[in-house]
Structures are given as C-alpha cells and as structure tokens.
C-alpha cells in the first residue's frame, strides 16, 4: 500500500480508526475526516506519527457538498492524487417506529449515510478515472448487515440507508469496471465500538451477539483487514461485491 493515497471518512474512531491505522502501517498516505471532535482526531494523527505512511485529519460533514469539495482539494494539495476511498462516515439516526418518523431527522440520516457516499465517490472518480487523467483506484463502502436484514427494532430507517449503500456499491462497480476503478462494500455485523457506549447499548449488543453463530461481536480490526484486502492488488479481480464480516450471521 506504499503508493496509495487514501481518504477514510469518519476515521477518528471505531471502525474508521482501525482502517486508517492499518493503511498507515502499510505505508499509505491517509486522510481521515472528523465532524466534531477535533482533539480526538488530532491526537490520533499524533499517535500515528511513527507509522510509515503520512496521516492528516480534515474536518468535513460529508453530507455537505462544500465540505466534500474542500476535503478532496486539501488531499490534492497535501498528499497527492487520490487512489483509494473508504466511505465510512455514518450515523444511526433517530430510532423509532415508522409512525414516529419525522422528515428532518430522516433527511439528516440520508445526507450522511447515502448522499455523503455519493458525493465522496464522485470526487474520488474525478481523480481516479482515466477520463479525468487518473490511473484507476479502489472504493470500499462500509455498509451493515442492517442493510441486508432491514434494520431491526426501531432501526428500519438506518437499515434502509445501508440497503441503499449495498445497491450503490453493486451498480457503481459495474459502471466503473472498464475504468480501472473497483467498488466493493464491507458489510459488518455487530462490532464492538464506542457507538454501543450509549445508555443501554452494551446490553443490546450482548443480546444481539447471542444470535451470532460465533457468539461474539466483531472487532474493528477484523473489519479493517477486510477493507485493506479489498483495496489491495490481491483483490484485483473483485468488484461489485458485498463482503460480509459478521461471524456467520
């Protein structure tokens, strides 16, 4: 990965942090994005200062076009021409039954989990595609088993957003297949990250993992390994693929 220049959205914590750590350890130049916690992002960059690859952090709301444009321009200037994108930034959104849905929170969920993926992919293709002077590259979208199962209790909207990511991955991979750009998704099951630290989250995670054949939650590092594989030349004939990392669930 030493010649790779990558963006990992939502890269300062959880799965994104593990992905960025692996890429930097392999010698890639990496830009992580964060939305609110600048201190955590900058501390993470400092922790990776001894890694073979360069790492920078950029604040960006990936659901806002102006933020996405500024993000990619910063990478152009500081790291070089992009070769890899990991669409990872996402939110759970407001939980509740369909008869409680409000358009405002729903629009915010779509903006981050769907529109942000489209906007970042658009900017990546403008740098990777031979039509724009690029030499190809790879995109990995982070989805969720919620997009396969429908989201579960009170999370139908979240599941729908991840179902859209799956469809986006399948279609975009075919659209770009002849331009040297591979597009795949990693589809995690229950992964032990700080997102479960909210009240009741740990109990809910424990209940959910009892339905997993391996009887445990995944680790962020296990998801990161799958992402790095799909970005690498070892997956040179793999595109439009949804790789489940879910313990058999």
Per the model's pLDDT, the better-predicted residue between 13 and 244 turns out to be 244
Q: Is the pLDDT of residue 196 over 70?
A: no
Give residue 20's pLDDT.
96
CA distance 172 to 154: 29
What are the boundaries of each domain within the chain?
A: 5-245
Q: Collapse the DSSP code of 105 into the 3-class scheme (helix H, G, I; strand E, B; otherwise coil) and give the result.
A: helix
Q: Which long-range contacts (CB under 8 A, 24 or more apart) does 35-38 make?
A: 35/10, 35/59, 35/60, 35/61, 35/89, 37/12, 37/13
Helices and strands (DSSP H and E) totals, the chain: 9, 7
Question: For 111, which DSSP code?
Answer: I
Query: Is 3 within 8 Å of 231 (Cβ atoms)?
Result: no
pLDDT band at 173 (very low <50, low <70, confident <90, very high): very high
pLDDT tens-place string over residues 41-71:
999 999 988 888 799 999 999 999 999 999 9
Q: Which residue has the tokens 């989990």?
A: 113
Chain segment 87-109, per-residue pLDDT in tens:
999 998 988 999 999 999 999 99
Confidence class of residue 207 from pLDDT cuts 50, 70 and 90?
confident
What pLDDT score does 198 carry?
63
Select from 3.40.50.720, 3.10.110.10, 3.40.630.10, 1.10.357.10 the CATH code of 5-245. Answer: 3.40.50.720
Listed in sequence order, the residues at least 6 apart from 82 whose beta carbon sits closer than 8 Å to its beta carbon are 5, 6, 7, 72, 75, 76, 124, 127, 128, 137
- Nearest 10 degrees: Cα torsion 22, 2, 10, 180: -120
The predicted-structure confidence for 2-37, as pLDDT tens digits, reads as follows: 889 999 999 998 999 999 999 999 999 999 999 999
Predicted confidence at residue 154, as pLDDT, reads 85
- pLDDT at position 202 is 72
Task: Please check the confidence at residue 201 and state whether its pLDDT lies above 80.
Answer: no
Token pair recorded at residue 17: 């942090």
Q: Are residues 222 and 179 in contact, defined by beta-carbon separation less than 8 angstroms?
A: no
Catalytic residues, which ones?
A: 158
In the structure encoding, which two tokens stand for residue 24, read together?
């930097």
């Amino acid at each position: 990965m030493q010649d790779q220049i990558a963006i990992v959205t939502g890269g300062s914590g959880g799965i994104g942090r593990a992905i960025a750590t692996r890429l930097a350890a392999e010698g890639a130049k990496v830009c992580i994005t964060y939305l609110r916690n600048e201190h955590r992002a900058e501390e993470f960059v400092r922790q990776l200062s001894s890694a073979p690859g360069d790492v920078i952090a950029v604040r960006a709301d990936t659901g806002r076009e102006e933020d996405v444009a500024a993000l990619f321009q910063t990478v152009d200037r500081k790291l070089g021409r992009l070769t890899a994108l990991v669409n990872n930034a996402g939110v759970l959104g407001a939980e509740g039954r369909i008869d409680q849905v409000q358009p405002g929170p729903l629009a915010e969920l779509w903006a981050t989990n769907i529109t942000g993926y489209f906007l970042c992919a658009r900017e990546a293709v403008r740098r990777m595609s031979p039509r724009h002077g690029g030499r190809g590259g790879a995109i990995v979208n982070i989805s969720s088993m919620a997009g396969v199962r429908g989201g579960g209790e009170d999370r139908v909207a979240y599941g729908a957003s991840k179902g859209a990511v799956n469809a986006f991955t399948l279609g975009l991979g075919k659209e770009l297949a002849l331009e040297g750009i591979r597009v795949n998704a990693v589809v995690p099951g229950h992964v032990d990250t700080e997102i479960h630290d909210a009240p009741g989250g740990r109990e809910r995670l424990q209940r959910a993992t009892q339905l997993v054949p391996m009887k445990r939650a995944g680790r962020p590092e296990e998801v990161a390994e799958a992402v790095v594989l799909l970005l690498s030349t070892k997956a040179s004939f793999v595109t439009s693929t949804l790789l489940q990392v879910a313990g058999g669930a």
